[in-house]
Structure 1
């Protein structure tokens, strides 16, 4: 009995939190005088006074006069929960909202990577596949494409080898007395131009395989040769720190461009032009020349390490350079003359970088035994082509961009074919 009585007394002392308590407050306020509320007067019942939240609000009414509008506002305030104005409740809500926002951002980034980036990387790996390997007798220094879809020019020791995969025919051009570093065929298909460590450039007749001209002018190794798209001129880079410009019809040197203070590693014409030239050197620079304004460079692009190769984009006003710093640098020549992208991924020196014919892709060859494909505007390599066992000296797209040729010190030339131009996401 005592226990039950104690329970009843305990329940009687508990505040009334029921909705009826708030209704009783409203009724009591309506019974109060319209003009004022007496100071210290108690206008609520004992049941209402047990509710702490209403009791705190009613303390503010002591000694205050109320109009009819203010009385309405008081009535509305009685129906509030009384918890919204607590500072720790507000801060906790802000923290919860901040956590939810951060979680949503992290989730969005994760979903973007899973459904777009990761899927694109996986799809890009399906674009290229390795074809049978072409074994050469000795190390292969350089490769260049022929006009046929699967034709190539390979520089092997002291000779130039031309072959076509479809016809399975090959031709050798043997005459140089030293290492052949570079070779190209004119766009009209009439002549073959080769450069060698014997300091000479040869112009060959493709049909008769006879040498038309022996071009003398360099005093050291010839590292690269390029032919203008109109078949008018040849440009060459040499260890004698100069860039040579040669006239094909006359078979003689017409310009000697000086400015580099170390070995010149590569030189290329802009597509459709024979007056605009870009060259690279171990002096950590890429230099641009315009023969219409003279034989002095018009722009200099500075690197932090030796530059091994360079190429003009056939479409846009950009240049790609390969460097000892393991990076392919992409430069904008139109306005800023600054790097617009750095293609990072190789783990050793990058020896060559070449654009595709549409200017959207770059292929690079490196001493890390890999060939990489890049989106010019991307940050990561689209695909890593593995197969060579020694350093890769050169890589280039075929004439139709459906194949990639690569050559290495492992005495092989590898062909990589493209399965699809676009893979659906």
Structure 2
């Protein structure tokens, strides 16, 4: 056990102190061109104009312009952390789920001082949101966290509940609309759609949603999808209608519809995987892990292409921007970072990272050399490294 007179170190193990020191050192890095915000970032949504919306633990919604790093507050603070985001193009409104059990709506055409409306219906914090339409009318889907575990379908025209669905035994984590249930060539439902849902239990369930009725599909009742060992944090459909799933079992899986949702690709991680996005035109999958890293994988082979290391706390969300050629990551470390998915840029980053690591090696070896602590072999290695730096 380390000794310290710092009150902040009382009752902390050597490992805990080492982690604090490591994160403090890593916080100085500028990888991913960090844009700093004042509090933890819990959710992110991309905007077509090169910006993202972010939800903060301080209860604020911000718009971040990626090219200029401009940060603009777009709502007055909520009384608790904001956990999730959804944008309704029909109502030109941004919706945010909150720890205080409410959903807050902020018109995007008004000033940040606008008094927010709120939707009440959950008995615990709101974990996930999605906006779409039915019969040409805007609706909102919300999933309850904690002990709630309920899906609510809202009529945004009236603010009233259309349906309340129960099936999961634990907190909702995410949901995704099945693209195969939409009219061909359309991103919006017509009179009904199928919703896939994930929660803190390992089951993925599916529901039929229309204006007049909502129910769990018989095949889901009989045999929900069981691809993971524990919580499923994210669901993403690709253009083939297959599912990519991220889980607390430390894997991302590609579930193939035509094989009854069998996993044909499993991406192993060292810790919980919080998010996954699919950059199909580049043949890449990007994952966000609790170990602070953003990883880029090859879709066809499942090989790891690049590990982006910059965040110094858990990565909480990802969003594709720039036509799917760049990914934005957000984190508990209160930064927004951007990473290229172009092969040349990833190679350039890896080379830069190696130079930084070699530079650290040189600095450490110089210190040992000055203290007369190097062996003959280490002296030769140091000389070689110094020659490389001169080149």
Q: Distance in 2 between matches of 1:218 and 1:276?
A: 22
Q: Distance in 2 between matches of 1:318 and 1:163?
A: 31
- Corresponding position of 1:330: 254
Which of the residues 248, 254, 269 maps onto 2:162?
Answer: 254
* 1:186 counterpart = 2:88: yes
Secondary structure of 2:305's counterpart equals strand
- Corresponding position of 2:209: 291
* 1:153 counterpart = 2:24: no
- Corresponding position of 1:352: 275
CA RMSD of aligned residues (A): 2.8
CA apart distance, 1:312: 3.2
Whether the aligned pair in 2 keeps the contact of 1:161 and 1:171 (CA below 8 Å) is yes
* Paired residues, number: 294
Whether the aligned pair in 2 keeps the contact of 1:204 and 1:212 (CA below 8 Å) is yes
- Corresponding position of 1:206: 108
* 1:219 counterpart = 2:142: no
CA apart distance, 1:402: 2.1
Q: After superposition, where does 1:234-313 map in structure 2 within 5 Å?
A: 234-239=140-145, 240-271=148-179, 272-274=187-189, 275-292=193-210, 294-297=214-217, 298-299=219-220, 300-313=224-237
Q: Distance in 2 between matches of 1:140 and 1:355?
A: 21
Q: Distance in 2 between matches of 1:170 and 1:308?
A: 32
CA apart distance, 1:314: 4.4
Whether the aligned pair in 2 keeps the contact of 1:316 and 1:359 (CA below 8 Å) is no
CA apart distance, 1:361: 3.2
Q: Distance in 1 between matches of 2:90 and 2:315?
A: 30
Whether the aligned pair in 2 keeps the contact of 1:235 and 1:268 (CA below 8 Å) is no
Structure 1 residues 187 and 374: alpha-carbon distance in aligned structure 2, compared to 1, 3 A threshold: farther
Note the residue ranges of structure 2 that are not aligned, 5 or more in a row.
1-29, 180-186, 347-391
Which of the residues 37, 42, 45 maps onto 1:144?
Answer: 45
Whether the aligned pair in 2 keeps the contact of 1:215 and 1:253 (CA below 8 Å) is no
TM-score (norm 2): 0.68
Whether the aligned pair in 2 keeps the contact of 1:361 and 1:373 (CA below 8 Å) is yes
Output one character per residue of 1:64-96: Cα deviation in whole Å (capped at 9) or x when no partner.
xxxxxxxxxxxxxxxxxxxxxxxxxxxxxxxxx
CA apart distance, 1:310: 2.5
- Corresponding position of 1:385: 308
Note the residue ranges of structure 1 that are not aligned, 5 or more in a row.
1-128
Output one character per residue of 1:81-124: Cα deviation in whole Å (capped at 9) or x when no partner.
xxxxxxxxxxxxxxxxxxxxxxxxxxxxxxxxxxxxxxxxxxxx
CA apart distance, 1:211: 5.2
Q: Distance in 2 between matches of 1:359 and 1:306?
A: 30
Whether the aligned pair in 2 keeps the contact of 1:227 and 1:269 (CA below 8 Å) is no
- Corresponding position of 1:134: 35
Structure 1 residues 355 and 419: alpha-carbon distance in aligned structure 2, compared to 1, 3 A threshold: closer
* 1:228 counterpart = 2:152: no
Q: Distance in 1 between matches of 2:271 and 2:138?
A: 37
Q: Distance in 1 between matches of 2:258 and 2:132?
A: 21
Q: After superposition, where does 1:365-384 map in structure 2 within 5 Å?
A: 365-384=288-307
